[in-house]
């Protein structure tokens, strides 16, 4: 009998603590997943009573989950579309937007390729399929093989909007599962070109992965090509395809969600953003975050 009481006591204590623990689910962008996972790990070390689960699936999937109110935070590497905002309103979800970092969206080629820089217009035409041979952009005579993401990806949508100017991707572009798969594909393919979040072009020692060239990108023909590897270029906006990395929450954040986002945007969080090879929030985005209460 005593034993039974002891067991019962133990069970209540354990379940009690589980219930008392705050559980947060974060889902979405493949570009953001490593970064947010790292942020969550460090945060959980400091706040052991809060459990955070970070999963991927793509920005579209994360936003869809937020609309369905299945997650507390959605990671997105693109802005929410109007269609999605309407769907959220219908479901009684009020999305608040927070910028957690800046990404210099990197266009990568195989190092054996030799091409070092392109204009935004050239990149757009390459991914639309209008330029299909490297010799037309100053490379050697070989057909270009395109590596991109799938339609659920925020990077896919951002790139389509701002580089392809809302035109269709070439139907011949290989639709890869994530940033890491694009890098693997480009490393193995001499004729490849792909696009990834800048956090993915580095190895563990924070050097650009061997065999990979991160292209310098020029705003237009005649302009100086700029590399995203230098923080200043991305911050100042001289790198033409920089973008904000977003988190969306339902309603003005409170409680643990608010605490976690405050941590992300604070000095410790922003240092992790830099460690993961993205760039800290700056300029007008700081103002934007203030509107959400940070």
Partner 1 sequence: MQNRKHKNKAVILRQLRENIIERFFQVNGLFAVIVLVGIFSLLLIEGLPALQSLGLKEFFLNRIWDPTSFERESYGLLSMIVSTLMVTLGAMVIAVPLGILCAAYIADIAKPRVREIIKPVIEILAGIPSVVIGFMGIIVVGPMLAKIFGTSNGLNAMNGSILLAVMSLPTIISISEDAILAVPQEFKNASLALGATRWQTLVRVTIPAAMSGIIASVMLGMGRAIGETMTVLMATGNAPAMPGGFFDSVRTMTATIAIELGETVQGGIHYKSLFVIGFVLFLMTFVVNLVSDVVLQKYQKVSR
The beta-carbon contacts of 284-293 under 8 Å, at least 24 apart in sequence, are 285/99, 285/102, 285/244, 288/97, 288/99, 289/98, 289/99, 289/265, 292/96, 292/97, 292/98, 292/252, 292/253, 293/252, 293/253, 293/258
Strand partners, 51: 23
Among 2, 3, 166, 290, binds partner 1 (CB under 8 A): 166
Among 38, 85, 174, 235, binds partner 1 (CB under 8 A): 174
Among 19, 20, 171, 204, binds partner 1 (CB under 8 A): 171
Strand partners, 95: 250
How many binding residues for partner 1 (CB under 8 A)?
37
DSSP class of residue 200 equals G
DSSP per-residue codes, 124-157: HHHHHTS--BGGGGTS-S-B-EEEEE-TT-HHHH
Closest to partner 1 by CB, 233 or 250: 250
Does 83 bind partner 1 (CB under 8 A)? Our answer is yes
Among 152, 179, 250, 270, binds partner 1 (CB under 8 A): 152
Among 50, 64, 71, 261, binds partner 1 (CB under 8 A): 64
Task: Specify the stretch interacting with partner 1 by CB under 8 A; choose among 149-157, 193-201, 205-213, 281-289.
Answer: 149-157
Pairing type for strands 174-176 and 145-149 reads parallel
Does 185 bind partner 1 (CB under 8 A)? Our answer is yes
Does 271 bind partner 1 (CB under 8 A)? Our answer is no
Neighbours of 23 (CB within 10 A): 12
8 A C-beta contact, residue 42 and residue 273:
no
Does 182 bind partner 1 (CB under 8 A)? Our answer is no
Task: Specify the stretch interacting with partner 1 by CB under 8 A; choose among 119-127, 176-184, 272-280, 285-293.
Answer: 176-184
Among 97, 161, 225, 238, binds partner 1 (CB under 8 A): 161
Task: Specify the stretch interacting with partner 1 by CB under 8 A; choose among 60-68, 244-252, 256-264, 270-278.
Answer: 60-68
Task: Specify the stretch interacting with partner 1 by CB under 8 A; choose among 6-14, 92-100, 171-179, 201-209.
Answer: 171-179
DSSP class of residue 198 equals G
Closest to partner 1 by CB, 58 or 228: 58
Does 216 bind partner 1 (CB under 8 A)? Our answer is no
**Gap between the Cα atoms of 152 and 86, Å rounded:** 18
Pairing type for strands 242-250 and 95-104 reads antiparallel
Backbone angles phi, psi at 151, to 5 degrees: -60, -20
Does 224 bind partner 1 (CB under 8 A)? Our answer is no
Neighbours of 126 (CB within 10 A): 24
Task: Specify the stretch interacting with partner 1 by CB under 8 A; choose among 17-25, 57-65, 69-77, 226-234.
Answer: 57-65
Strand partners, 50: 22
8 A C-beta contact, residue 104 and residue 159:
no
Q: How far is the CB of 57 from partner 1 (least distance, A)?
A: 6
Closest to partner 1 by CB, 107 or 186: 186
Does 60 bind partner 1 (CB under 8 A)? Our answer is yes
Q: Applying CB under 8 A, which residues contact partner 1?
A: 57-58, 60-61, 64, 83, 87, 142-143, 145-146, 150-152, 157, 160-161, 166-177, 181, 184-185, 188-192
């Amino acid at each position: 009998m005593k034993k039974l009481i002891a067991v019962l006591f133990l069970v209540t204590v354990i379940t009690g603590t589980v219930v008392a623990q705050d559980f947060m689910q974060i889902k979405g962008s493949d570009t953001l997943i490593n970064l947010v996972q790292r942020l969550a790990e460090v945060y959980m070390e400091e706040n052991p009573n809060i459990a955070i689960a970070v999963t991927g699936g793509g920005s579209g999937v994360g936003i869809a989950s937020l609309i369905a109110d299945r997650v507390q935070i959605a990671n997105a590497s693109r802005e929410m579309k109007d269609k999605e905002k309407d769907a959220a309103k219908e479901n009684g979800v009020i999305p608040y937007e927070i910028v957690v970092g800046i990404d210099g969206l990197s266009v990568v080629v195989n190092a054996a390729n030799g091409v070092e820089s392109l204009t935004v217009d050239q990149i757009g035409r390459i991914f639309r399929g209008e330029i299909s041979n490297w010799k037309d952009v100053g490379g050697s005579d070989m057909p270009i093989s395109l590596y991109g993401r799938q339609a659920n990806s925020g990077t896919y949508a951002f790139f389509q909007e701002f580089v392809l100017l809302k035109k269709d991707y070439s139907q011949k572009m290989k639709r890869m599962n994530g940033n890491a798969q694009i890098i693997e594909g480009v490393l193995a393919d001499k004729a490849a070109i792909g696009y990834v979040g800048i956090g993915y072009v580095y190895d563990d020692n924070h050097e650009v992965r061997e065999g990979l060239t991160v292209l310098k990108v020029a705003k237009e023909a005649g302009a100086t090509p700029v590399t995203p590897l230098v923080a200043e270029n991305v911050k100042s906006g001289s790198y033409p395809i920089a973008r904000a990395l977003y988190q969306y929450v339902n309603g003005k954040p409170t409680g643990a969600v608010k605490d976690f986002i405050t941590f992300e945007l604070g000095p410790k969080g922003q240092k992790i953003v830099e460690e993961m090879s993205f760039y800290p929030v700056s300029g007008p985005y700081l103002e934007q975050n203030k509107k959400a209460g940070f």
